[in-house]
Amino acid sequence: MGALTDGVLSAGGQVYGVILRQFLDQGLCHPQLAQCDVAEDMRRRKHLLADGSDGFIALPGGPGTWEELWEIAVQRQIGAIQAPLVVIDIDGCYGPLRLQLDRAASDGLLYGPPSELMTFAGNADEAVSIVAGEYP
């Protein structure tokens, strides 16, 4: 997250952060955030992240990333969130997820095709274009 924040800031962007109190207390909050909200637990953190977002982009990550990814995917499936969800599939990291989504669709476990749940991008530029509605 720090490297991502540094990249956005070096490109002239602003970063809005949502951090768990335990990480704030450990001094892990980036000092140059435009704004930083503190959440007491993951449920509140996810609510703050989703509230008012124009879109969601997931990079390769571990259980925390997966949990947040699925939270947004579920909200999209039930229609609570319309903002795009884009997964950046660097070096095939999310290949197994694509297979699982295809299987769920073929088994009738999704309300629509996997592409209505989330979109996959090969890089950050493509992901940002998708969120901005500029990608075919």
DSSP string covering 2-18: HHHHHHHHHTT---EEE
pLDDT of residue 136: 60
Yes or no: domain 54-136 corresponds to CATH 3.90.1300.10: no
Confidence of residue 8 (pLDDT cuts 50, 70, 90): confident
* Angle formed at CA 18 by CA 97 and CA 1, multiple of 5 degrees: 55
Q: Is the pLDDT of residue 123 over 80?
A: yes
Q: Is the pLDDT of residue 4 over 90?
A: no
Asked if residue 85 lies in contact with residue 119, where contact means CB atoms within 8 angstroms, the answer is yes
Q: Which helix (H) or strand (E) holds 65?
A: helix 63-77
Strand-by-strand arrangement of the 85-88 sheet: 56-58, 85-88, 119-121
The domains of the chain are located at: 1-51, 54-136
